[in-house]
Amino acid sequence: MKLIIDGREVTALADQSLLDIIREMGLVTGKLSTDPIAAKIAGDVFTLNYIPLREKDVRPDSERVREAVAASGGVVRLIRYSDPAGAEVYTRTAQFVLFLAIEQLWPKAEATMSFTVGSGLYVKVSGAKDFSAEALRERVDKIVEENIPLLRRRISTAEAIEYYKNNGQEDKARLLSYRPLSTFDVYKHGDFADYYYGEVAPSTGYLRSYDILEAEGGFIFVFPQKKSPDRVSQYKEQPNLFAVCNEGKEWGELMECETVADLNELVEGGKIRELIRINEALHEKKFSAIADRICARGAKAVMLAGPSSSGKTTSANRLSTQLRVHGKKPILMSLDDYYVDRDKISPGPDGKVDLEHINTIDTELFGQHLDMLLRGEEVELPSFNFKTGRREWLGHKLRLNEKSVIIVEGLHAMNPVLLPEGLDPTLVFRLFVTPLLPLNLDNHNRIPSSYLRLLRRIVRDYETRGASVAHTLDMWQSVRAGEERWIYPFQENADVMFNSSTLYEIAVLKKHIFPLLTEVEPSDECYDQVRSVVKVLNFVHEADVDFEIPPTSLVREFIGGNTFYKK
């Protein structure tokens, strides 16, 4: 079989794996920064253990790779850690090694994937006598040194459910009861069997750069550096983020909705309506408490920031309502109106204009206006015309009085460069809005918060801009890169971090998004991202309860019907 691997034509022999082939090509050096960790064929990601051509005994799990090879014309693109898909493969490999090590050392313990904090992943551990991160690190080192092959074994879904029930992993057994397929793939080593929703590295030896740190109630797994993956990242504590993530987990416990299986049972039993009411009440209580703090401080400006699809606009409006309860007169402002004229923005080295860059905002002008407003002076505010790409002056003048509070909403609102020198810090309140979904698939498989934001953006882009799934996904990595550079480094500056996720919305979003996903073809470059979305949504019961969602809900910003947008 002829293959074209990273532009080089090679011949794949019978029963030769992709890993065997790239070794012969001299592409395996033992360094995470340069070694391939998976392969992309016809828009889909495959483990390097896949065998493109078999002499005999064709296995069902090899059909997919053969179909992909045929669809791509034999073109194979190798994926390394620097690729987002490669980093995900590395994370899943780390999960297998970590949970295997915990099973070996503390067989009666319960370990749960919780949330990502900066360059680290927090895993909660309970029921482990004398647990220590140091002992776990030593066992992980041993498993990595053994270089255990990570080979999938296909079993029936019924067999998998029985296995997990017998091993006390009721969370996995319950989740698999909602699996629409009759078979299930697991990775095994000895008596340990687990599964992670996507490909893993060829063997445990690929886990080359990591650290394991002690943390309250568990440990932090530290990832490699993104730009220099042969070195471990320096983990920085983020107490605000850690606290709001833990709060989200507490909300899940309160509403008895910690996993997708819990959510499905609420949908089946009709109790999702109560879940919606409780979740929305918690949000309203939080907005009320934030308004209390703003008024107690005597702040005159609220800087409200957050990543894409976090619900900033709805949050600004709901906070405005709560401030009015305090007798305030809130005024909404958008940083978008301070965009520099498009023709004045210089393109980057790649020839493209980076619209996520802080330099796209006229920070000097905004700082001047904020300073003047807080000193009681009148200011004419600009308006940005997105059709012409230019700033306009339409005579919109503003002067604050004793009851005024301005709410400034924008991606960069947390960046300190926006604030003028010498400003009284008590006059400014900083609010960071981000959806930190606390819902897990099961104890060993979390749903990343970025996944929820992507679902929200796909639905909103389609509903309001007519954008296809492929178009949104094509932009997503650029959006994420901009957030990592310009938004997340400043999130700990916030006075309050608000978790804008809701536990019920993934079941609501499924109805809106699933038909759109079927439009993406296997030949599309974004097909692997679509598959990762579908793998999760396949386990989620669709909830047709849009009528139960309040018109001021954050979810309404994405599915439509948000009254804040009505004139």
Encode 184-202 in three state secondary structure: EEEEEECCEEECCCCCCCC
pLDDT digits (tens, 9 = 90+) for 487-502: 999 999 999 999 999 9
Tell me the percentage of the chain whose pLDDT exceeds 90.
72
Q: Is 435 helix (H, G, I), strand (E, B) or coil?
A: coil
- In CATH terms, the fold of domain 241-560 is Rossmann fold (3.40.50)
pLDDT score for 27: 95
C-beta atoms surrounding 10 within 10 Å: 18
- Tell me which of 150-154, 273-277, 399-403 is least confident: 150-154
Instruction: Report d(CA 39, CA 19) in Å as an integer.
Output: 10
The average pLDDT across 253-269 equals 94
- What is the side-by-side order of every strand in the sheet holding 218-222? 110-117, 120-126, 218-222, 211-215
pLDDT score for 71: 79
Q: Answer yes or no: is pLDDT of 55 > 70.
A: no
The average pLDDT across 444-469 equals 88
Domains 85-237 and 241-560 agree in fold: no
- What is the side-by-side order of every strand in the sheet holding 2-5? 8-11, 2-5, 75-79, 38-41, 44-46
Q: Answer yes or no: is pLDDT of 477 > 90.
A: no
Q: Answer yes or no: is pLDDT of 60 > 70.
A: no
pLDDT score for 338: 95
Q: Is 315 helix (H, G, I), strand (E, B) or coil?
A: helix
The average pLDDT across 445-449 equals 89
pLDDT score for 482: 86
pLDDT digits (tens, 9 = 90+) for 348-376: 777 777 777 888 999 999 999 999 999 99
Instruction: Report d(CA 216, CA 411) in Å as an integer.
Output: 32
pLDDT score for 470: 87
Tokens of 50: 């896949």
Burial 147-169 (b: 16+ CB within 10 A, else e): ebebeeeeeeeeebbebbeeeeb
Q: Answer yes or no: is pLDDT of 567 > 60.
A: no
Q: Answer yes or no: is pLDDT of 44 > 90.
A: no
Instruction: Report d(CA 175, CA 252) in Å as an integer.
Output: 17
Instruction: Report d(CA 479, CA 309) in Å as an integer.
Output: 11
C-beta atoms surrounding 313 within 10 Å: 19
* Nearest CA-CA partner of 531 in 39, 44, 37: 44
pLDDT score for 566: 60
**What radius of gyration, in Å, describes the C-alpha atoms of the chain?**
25
Find the distance separating the first CA and the last CA of the chain, reported in whole Å.
62
Please answer whether residues 318 and 557 qualify as being in contact, where contact means their C-beta atoms are separated by less than 8 angstroms: no
Q: Answer yes or no: is pLDDT of 272 > 80.
A: yes
The average pLDDT across 398-405 equals 95
Confidence band, pLDDT 50/70/90 cuts, at residue 57: low
pLDDT score for 204: 97
pLDDT score for 507: 96
Q: What are phi and psi of 248, to 5 degrees?
A: -60, -40
pLDDT score for 414: 94
Confidence band, pLDDT 50/70/90 cuts, at residue 140: very high
- Tell me which of 148-157, 515-524, 551-560 is least confident: 515-524
SS (H, E, C) 9-55: EEECCCCCCHHHHHHHCCCCCCCCCCCCCEEEECCEEECCCCCCCCC
The average pLDDT across 7-19 equals 92
pLDDT score for 56: 64
Instruction: Report d(CA 491, CA 150) in Å as an integer.
Output: 38
Q: Answer yes or no: is pLDDT of 314 > 90.
A: yes
Q: Side chain identity at 303, as an amino acid letter?
A: M
Instruction: Report d(CA 89, CA 313) in Å as an integer.
Output: 34
Domain residue ranges in the chain: 2-80, 85-237, 241-560
Cα dihedral 159, 163, 169, 170 sign: positive
Q: Answer yes or no: is pLDDT of 464 > 90.
A: no
Q: Answer yes or no: is pLDDT of 67 > 60.
A: yes
Bridge partner list, 117: 120
C-beta atoms surrounding 96 within 10 Å: 23
DSSP 114-149: EEEETTEEEEEEES-TT--HHHHHHHHHHHHHHT-B
Instruction: Report d(CA 177, CA 184) in Å as an integer.
Output: 11
pLDDT digits (tens, 9 = 90+) for 329-354: 999 999 999 999 988 887 777 777 77
Confidence band, pLDDT 50/70/90 cuts, at residue 91: very high
The overall average pLDDT reported for the chain is 91
pLDDT score for 26: 95
Tokens of 75: 């073109």
85-237: in CATH 3.30.980.10: yes
Tell how strand 192-194 and strand 183-189 pair up: antiparallel
pLDDT digits (tens, 9 = 90+) for 383-396: 999 889 999 999 99
C-beta atoms surrounding 264 within 10 Å: 22
Confidence band, pLDDT 50/70/90 cuts, at residue 269: very high
Instruction: Report d(CA 119, CA 211) in Å as an integer.
Output: 11
Q: Answer yes or no: is pLDDT of 61 > 60.
A: no
